[in-house]
């Protein structure tokens, strides 16, 4: 018996369909003075505290307007389009936190990309244990180099003073991502 | 001298001749591309794929599950590629499709649970005639290895999660530890040694239907109880496992109790129906509040509803804490939160508690019918 080799290509088993590359950022403000900062809280422990602390720093040091707070329905998936639209309408920049779990790190970055594409400068804050999932999500969204803040893990278990330290430590990155001088 | 007849290294009788280098090259390619669960996969060509698509009447482009937040869709065709990759035979594919149909109606997969640190896995229970048709194991080693249908149907789900939805460990899948069930977790119910009606009949399907019941689980925990013929003692032993505090991320837990046939008979011989058994487990799955306080899980977070200590700034009382008997905390939140299935060998007093992830639901799983084989097939 002679065996004849029938060579055939292997079939692609992936669902790979990253969104088309689109890494345009929203236009940056020249100064933060008087701007309305949106704070998008994903309900994870200490998200409110961290966002409030950062907003406090911005108010004190850069004279931003009274911040506006928003809460996501669910931390594991990106914000609903209606919420994104509302924040874009009502704010000049947005900060969202805290991506300190598998699904919410990815969702926090996805939210940032969605805001930027809708014309709103966005600071997404994750914890540094979840750098990889956050970056993977940026790639999936067609924005592989998307910049976000990775604060030191953990966040959930910190007390008020420790949160204030994390907020102060994040300030240079907040300003850099928003494109304003410190 | 007879020992030399089957010495190691001699050719395996009746085995096909292969080009081992070429097989390895194909398997290595998948591994290098990150298209596997770490174990070698079966190379899949279009011709082989067509054998899978031939066993179903469904359109290859039909979408089985969409993960909108990941911008990914699983089609019948992609489910087939990954089933073939996992080592399924084509006649296993209708069970894989039913598994996806059931998983598609589960609440957590579309909400990012397979990216979560909690590290869950899909869990499949197969009922009905398809079990015998494709050799699904329902008896000894039911959670173990050794049976192609069990091993590869569960694996087909995992490989699609990795390849189609892009849920690679260390990247989008951030499970802290996960569970061995991530490789495969597919059991068949031992209907033949069960004193009660099978799961799918309970759910209103015909005994002659084949079904897949799917849910999302965290752990499979052993219950050793070879000592008793008392249904109350046995049930309390099971309850102790269901109510362990480590299972309580949320306010409540849910469970599939997979009884070995011997344990099922302890209940049935005492005149307990499956419903009686379930009711007993439900009623007794209660912890004194002091025991929850001792591990810092005596309240819930106002934000996440996860358990935490009562003195935490985010703490609000759990449901029991707002009721008439605040010192006794039920850990099963809905009448359907505990379900009973019979599986395993009829040879010892061993059962398992399969811990289901999530908030209380009317029924902690989803069920789907397996497409019948073609007439004369």
A49 interaction partners in chain B (CB closer than 8 Å): none
A11 interaction partners in chain B (CB closer than 8 Å): 44-46, 49, 81
Q: Is B105 exposed, middle or buried (0-12, 13-18, 19+ CB in 10 A)?
A: middle
Distance CA B49, CA A66 (A): 60
Positive or negative: CA dihedral B311, B245, B115, B337: negative
Distance CA A22, CA A141 (A): 8
The beta-strand segments (E) located in B41-106 are 63-67, 72-75
The predicted pLDDT at position B6 comes to 58
Helix (H) or strand (E) holding A89: helix A81-90
Over 50: is that where the pLDDT of A1 sits? no
Q: Say what percent of chain A tops pLDDT 90.
A: 86
What tokens appear for A24 in the block? Answer: 């345009």
A154-181 pLDDT per residue, tens: 999 899 999 999 999 999 999 999 999 7
Closest Cβ opposite residue B112 in set A17, A103, A130: A103
Q: What is the ipTM of this complex?
A: 0.90
A48 assigned to some structural domain = yes
B45 interaction partners in chain A (CB closer than 8 Å): 8-11
Residue A16: pLDDT band (50, 70, 90) is: confident
Distance CA A14, CA A17 (A): 9
B82 interaction partners in chain A (CB closer than 8 Å): 13
Phi, psi of A97 (to 5 degrees): -155, 160
Pairing relationship of beta strands B299-301 and B307-308 according to DSSP bridges? antiparallel
Closest Cβ opposite residue A43 in set B29, B74, B303: B303
Q: Is A124 exposed, middle or buried (0-12, 13-18, 19+ CB in 10 A)?
A: buried
The predicted pLDDT at position B5 comes to 57
Residue of A nearest to B108 (CA): A76
A131 assigned to some structural domain = yes
Chain B contact present for A17, CB below 8 A: yes
The predicted pLDDT at position B63 comes to 98
Over 60: is that where the pLDDT of B372 sits? yes
Counted across chains A and B, CB pairs separated by less than 8 A come out at 113
Q: Say what percent of chain B tops pLDDT 90.
A: 92
A3 assigned to some structural domain = no
Chain B contact present for A45, CB below 8 A: yes
B340-371 pLDDT per residue, tens: 999 999 999 999 999 999 999 999 999 999 99
DSSP per-residue letters across B166-204: ---BTTTB--SS--GGGT--EEE---TT-SS--HHHHTT
The predicted pLDDT at position A15 comes to 82
Q: Answer yes or no: do B168 and A76 touch at CB < 8 A.
A: no
Q: Answer yes or no: do B116 and A101 touch at CB < 8 A.
A: yes
Q: Answer yes or no: do A14 and B171 touch at CB < 8 A.
A: no
Pairing relationship of beta strands B328-330 and B286-288 according to DSSP bridges? antiparallel
Q: Name the one residue in this structure whose structure tokens are 């692609």.
A: A12
Distance CA B238, CA B233 (A): 9
Mean pLDDT value across chain A: 93
Residue-number span of the structural domain to which A76 is assigned: 37-178
Chain B contact present for A137, CB below 8 A: yes
Least confident stretch, A15-29, B171-185, B282-296: A15-29
Residue B303: pLDDT band (50, 70, 90) is: confident
- With DSSP H G I counted as helix, E B as strand and the rest as coil, what are the percentages for chain B, rounded to 5? 35, 20, 45
Q: Answer yes or no: do B115 and A77 touch at CB < 8 A.
A: no
Least confident stretch, A49-53, B61-65, B148-152, B373-377: B373-377
**Neighbouring C-beta atoms of residue B78, cutoff 10 Å:** 25
Q: Answer yes or no: do A136 and B113 touch at CB < 8 A.
A: no
Closest Cβ opposite residue B115 in set A19, A103, A135: A103
A11 assigned to some structural domain = no
Chain B contact present for A134, CB below 8 A: no
Say which CATH number the domain at A174 has. 3.40.50.10350
B68-96 pLDDT per residue, tens: 999 999 999 999 999 999 999 999 999 99
Chain A contact present for B369, CB below 8 A: no
Q: Which long-range contacts (CB under 8 A, 24 or more apart) does A16-23 make?
A: A16/B166, A17/B71, A17/B72, A18/A139, A18/A140, A18/A141, A18/A142, A18/B71, A19/A140, A19/A141, A19/A142, A19/B71, A20/A142, A21/A142, A21/A143, A21/A144, A22/A117, A22/A142, A22/A143, A23/A142, A23/A143, A23/A144, A23/A145, A23/A146
- Letter string b/e over residues A129-159, b meaning 16 or more CB atoms within 10 A of that residue's CB: bbebbbbbbbbbbbbeebbbbbbeeebbebe
Q: Answer yes or no: do B74 and A15 touch at CB < 8 A.
A: yes
The predicted pLDDT at position B1 comes to 46
Q: Name the one residue in this structure whose structure tokens are 């379930």.
A: B278
Distance CA B80, CA B100 (A): 11
Distance CA B347, CA B14 (A): 35
Q: Answer yes or no: do B159 and A13 touch at CB < 8 A.
A: yes
**Nearest CA of chain A to the CA of B354: how many Å?**
23
Q: Answer yes or no: do A107 and B69 touch at CB < 8 A.
A: yes
A54 assigned to some structural domain = yes
Residue A20: pLDDT band (50, 70, 90) is: confident
Q: Which residues contact B17 (CB under 8 A, 6 or more apart)?
A: A3
Least confident stretch, A14-28, A98-112, B49-63: A14-28
A12 interaction partners in chain B (CB closer than 8 Å): 81
Q: Answer yes or no: do A15 and B43 touch at CB < 8 A.
A: no
**Nearest CA of chain B to the CA of A78: how many Å?**
6
Residue A33: pLDDT band (50, 70, 90) is: very high
Average pLDDT over residues B289-308: 95
Q: How many domains does chain A have?
A: 1
Over 80: is that where the pLDDT of A18 sits? no
Distance CA B160, CA B67 (A): 12
Q: Answer yes or no: do B72 and A15 touch at CB < 8 A.
A: yes
What tokens appear for A161 in the block? Answer: 């003073």
Chain A contact present for B45, CB below 8 A: yes
Q: Answer for the pair A149, A123: CB distance below 8 angstroms, yes or no.
A: yes
| Radius of gyration of the CA atoms of chain B, in A | 22
Mean pLDDT value across chain B: 95
DSSP single-letter state for residue A46? T
Which residues 149-178 in chain A show a CB within 8 A of chain B?
Answer: none
A110 interaction partners in chain B (CB closer than 8 Å): 69
B169-214 pLDDT per residue, tens: 999 999 999 999 999 999 999 999 999 999 999 999 999 999 999 9
Least confident stretch, A6-20, A82-96, A133-147, B143-157: A6-20
Q: Distance between the two ends of chain A, CA-based, in angstroms? A: 79
Phi, psi of B329 (to 5 degrees): -110, 110
The predicted pLDDT at position B178 comes to 97
A65 assigned to some structural domain = yes
Chain B contact present for A77, CB below 8 A: yes
B86-134 pLDDT per residue, tens: 999 999 999 999 999 999 999 999 999 999 999 999 999 999 999 999 9
**Neighbouring C-beta atoms of residue B366, cutoff 10 Å:** 19
Q: Name the one residue in this structure whose structure tokens are 């409540």.
A: B252
Q: Answer for the pair B313, B159: CB distance below 8 angstroms, yes or no.
A: no
Pairing relationship of beta strands A68-71 and B328-330 according to DSSP bridges? unpaired
Average pLDDT over residues A13-22: 81
The predicted pLDDT at position A19 comes to 74
Q: Which residues contact A67 (CB under 8 A, 6 or more apart)?
A: A36, A37, A38, A39, A55, A58, A59
B201-249 pLDDT per residue, tens: 999 999 999 999 999 999 999 999 999 999 999 999 999 999 999 999 9
Q: Answer yes or no: do B45 and A8 touch at CB < 8 A.
A: yes
Closest Cβ opposite residue A45 in set B17, B49, B304: B304
Residue of A nearest to B169 (CA): A133
Chain B contact present for A2, CB below 8 A: no
Nearest to B216 by CA among B332, B124, B308, B316: B124
Average pLDDT over residues A62-88: 96
Q: Which residues contact B312 (CB under 8 A, 6 or more apart)?
A: B299, B301
């Amino acid at each position: 018996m002679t065996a004849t080799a029938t060579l055939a290509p292997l079939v692609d088993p992936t669902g790979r369909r990253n969104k088309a590359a689109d890494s345009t950022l929203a236009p940056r403000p020249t100064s933060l003075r008087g701007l309305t900062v949106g704070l998008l809280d994903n309900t994870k422990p200490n998200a409110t505290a961290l966002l409030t602390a950062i907003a406090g720093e911005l108010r004190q040091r850069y004279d931003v307007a009274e911040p506006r707070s928003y809460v996501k329905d669910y931390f594991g998936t990106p914000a609903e389009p209606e919420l994104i639209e509302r924040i874009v309408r009502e704010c000049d920049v947005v900060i969202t936190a805290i991506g300190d779990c598998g699904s919410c790190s990815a969702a926090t970055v996805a939210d940032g990309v969605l805001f930027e594409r809708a014309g709103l400068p966005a600071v997404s804050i994750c914890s540094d244990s979840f750098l990889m999932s956050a970056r993977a999500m940026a790639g999936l969204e067609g924005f592989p180099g998307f910049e976000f803040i990775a604060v030191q893990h953990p966040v959930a278990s910190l007390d008020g003073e420790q949160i204030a330290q994390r907020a102060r430590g994040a300030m240079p990155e907040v300003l850099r991502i928003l494109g304003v001088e410190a | 001298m007879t020992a030399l007849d089957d010495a190691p290294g001699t050719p395996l009788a009746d085995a096909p001749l292969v080009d081992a280098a070429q097989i390895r090259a194909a398997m290595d390619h998948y591994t290098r591309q990150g298209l596997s669960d770490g174990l070698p996969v079966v190379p899949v060509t279009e011709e082989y794929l067509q054998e899978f698509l031939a066993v179903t009447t469904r359109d290859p482009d039909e979408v089985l599950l969409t993960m909108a937040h990941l911008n990914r869709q699983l089609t019948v065709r992609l489910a087939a590629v990954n089933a073939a990759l996992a080592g399924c035979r084509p006649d296993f594919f209708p069970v894989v499709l039913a598994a996806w149909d059931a998983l598609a109606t589960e609440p957590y997969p579309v909400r990012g649970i397979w990216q979560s640190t909690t590290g869950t896995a899909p869990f499949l229970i197969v009922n009905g005639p398809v079990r015998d048709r494709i050799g699904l194991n329902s008896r000894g080693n039911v959670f173990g290895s050794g049976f192609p249908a069990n091993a590869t149907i569960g694996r087909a789900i995992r490989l699609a999660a990795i390849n189609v939805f892009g849920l690679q460990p260390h990247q989008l899948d951030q499970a802290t530890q996960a569970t061995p069930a991530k490789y495969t977790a597919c059991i068949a119910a031992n209907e033949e040694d069960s004193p009660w009606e099978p799961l799918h009949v309970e759910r209103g399907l015909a005994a002659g239907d084949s079904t897949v019941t799917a849910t999302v689980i965290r752990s499979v925990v052993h219950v050793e109880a070879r000592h008793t013929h008392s249904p109350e003692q046995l049930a309390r032993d099971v309850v102790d496992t269901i109510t362990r505090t480590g299972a309580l991320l949320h306010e409540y837990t849910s469970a599939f109790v997979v009884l070995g046939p011997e344990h099922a008979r302890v209940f049935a011989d005492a005149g307990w129906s499956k419903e009686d058994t379930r009711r007993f487990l439900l009623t007794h799955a209660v912890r004194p509040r002091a025991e929850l306080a001792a591990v810092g899980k005596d309240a819930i977070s106002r934000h996440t509803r996860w358990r935490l200590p009562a003195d935490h700034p985010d703490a609000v009382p759990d449901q029991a804490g707002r009721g008439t008997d605040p010192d006794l905390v039920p850990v099963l939140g809905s009448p359907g939160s505990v379900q009973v299935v019979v599986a395993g060998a009829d040879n010892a007093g061993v059962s398992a508690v399969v811990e289901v992830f999530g908030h209380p639901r009317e029924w902690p799983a989803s069920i789907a019918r397996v497409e019948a084989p073609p007439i004369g097939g």
